[in-house]
Amino acid sequence: MKKITSLLLSVVMLLSITTGLNLSALAAVSSNYEYTVAGGEATITKYKGSESKITVPAKLGNVKVTVIGESAFSGVTATSVVLPEGVKRIDAYGFFGCKNLKSITLPKTMERIWYRAFSMCKSLTDVYYNGTKEQWAKVTVLNGEDMGNQELFDAAFHYGTSADCANNKHSYKSTVTKATITSNGKIVKKCSVCGKTTTTTVAKASSIKLSRNIFTTNGNVQRPSVTVYDSKGKQLTYKKDFNVDYSNWSSKNVGRYTVTIKLIGNYSGTKTYPYYINPKPTAFVPSNKGGFKAVSKGFTLKWNKQASQTTGYQIQYATKRDFSNAATITIANPNTTSKTIKGRAGNTRYYVRVRTYKKIGNGTFYSNWNSGVKSVVTLR
């Protein structure tokens, strides 16, 4: 038994030496590719697809592709092939007999191209090499008598690009630095094939505007609309560039509310603004119905009752039309609708105004003053 085991081991060792068999390589299949994995690197052993334009993936089974194996693409009918960065070697007969192949894109990671890798590629006219001419000079390409690959040297060489890139069809990957309310951002697009980079500035979202921030209660839900502009005056798009959240989507009662703007997409940051719903105003009763009554060194005022969402009323009176140095009286009862003021100067005109107010916690919310200019002249 020991002799048989020793004999088998000897045969395996002999095969590995004479055929170059990598016993540690694991065979696998992924989509259009058969490949082996050894040492954390993948070698494509056969292409099984029928694409006219082939872009070889940088990874197979999450393993980096580093070698195009012997005869892996031999005889395929594709017109163009793009090899990804990371491929270091093309083994013998790798693309042998690809009669329709017009262009090949080689990565700047390429180190060695074995014999007859491109033999019988009679249509090959363009080679796109992602590196420089100096880098290409360091790549070992077996050529000459019985070595083949002359077709590769007969083709036109384009350095630092690929076939698609030469036609402005780049394979961009974007990296976004988001703009904020105070700082510009940028979008950096880099071609994964040729490395071409473009940078676009994302202007900061410098202007956020509410349609209004003060409302008067009317029994309906009221909220401000939001408009956002960047520093160049461009209007940003709701749900693409920003979202809006209200502290109370059903805001209709007197009180203080907030709206929060959250920047999204190519923007980042939040900003919160307050808005207010104030009580309804009231008005004085007309003069012919006793709204203003002059008395000796004073006057009596009457106004319309406004009890809905109202704590009371505030009255101001002054001898100046602009109400500078006005006296203020607070009436903390929404059911009280008249007030007599005495002890003022006789035969003097007093300007008067009235408004409602509502107390909520530590806050007080006021309506607008009554409309128009109202005044009364005291008696002596």
The residues spanned by each domain of the chain are 16-166, 172-202, 207-278, 287-377
Task: Count the neighbouring beta carbons within 10 Å of the beta carbon of residue 129.
Answer: 22
Distance between CA 225 and CA 210 in Å, rounded? Answer: 6
Domains 16-166 and 287-377 fall in the same CATH topology? no
How far is the CA of 95 from the CAs of 49, 90, 276, in angstroms? 14, 9, 74
- What is the CATH superfamily name and number for domain 16-166? Ribonuclease Inhibitor (3.80.10.10)
CA distances from 181 to 196, 199, 211, 237 (A): 30, 20, 19, 15
CATH architecture of 207-278: Sandwich (2.60)
Q: What is the predicted pLDDT for the residue at 10?
A: 40
Q: Amino acid identity, residue 90?
A: I
Q: What is the pLDDT of residue 145?
A: 67
What pLDDT was estimated at residue 307?
87
List the chain pLDDT tens, one digit each, 380 residues. 333 334 333 433 433 433 444 445 688 888 899 999 999 999 999 999 999 999 999 999 999 999 999 999 999 999 999 999 999 999 999 999 999 999 999 999 999 999 999 999 999 999 999 888 899 999 999 987 678 899 999 999 988 776 667 677 777 889 999 999 999 999 999 887 667 789 999 999 999 999 999 999 999 999 999 999 999 999 999 999 999 999 999 999 999 999 999 999 999 999 999 999 999 999 999 999 999 999 999 999 999 999 899 999 999 999 999 999 999 999 999 999 999 999 999 999 999 999 999 999 999 999 999 999 999 999 99
What would be the CATH architecture of the domain defined by 287-377?
Answer: Sandwich (2.60)
According to DSSP, the residues that pair with 355 across neighbouring strands are 314
- What's the pLDDT score for residue 127? 94
- Which residue type sits at 3? K
Q: How many CA atoms lie less than 13 Å away from 131 in the CB half-sphere?
A: 18
DSSP string, 282-309: --BPPGGGTSEEEEBTEEEEEB----TT
- The total of other beta-carbon atoms located within 10 Å of residue 68's CB is 26
The answer to whether 217 and 248 are in contact (CB under 8 A) is no
Is the distance from CB of 318 to CB of 244 less than 8 angstroms? no
Instruction: Dihedral sign for Cα 140, 143, 147, 150, please.
Output: positive
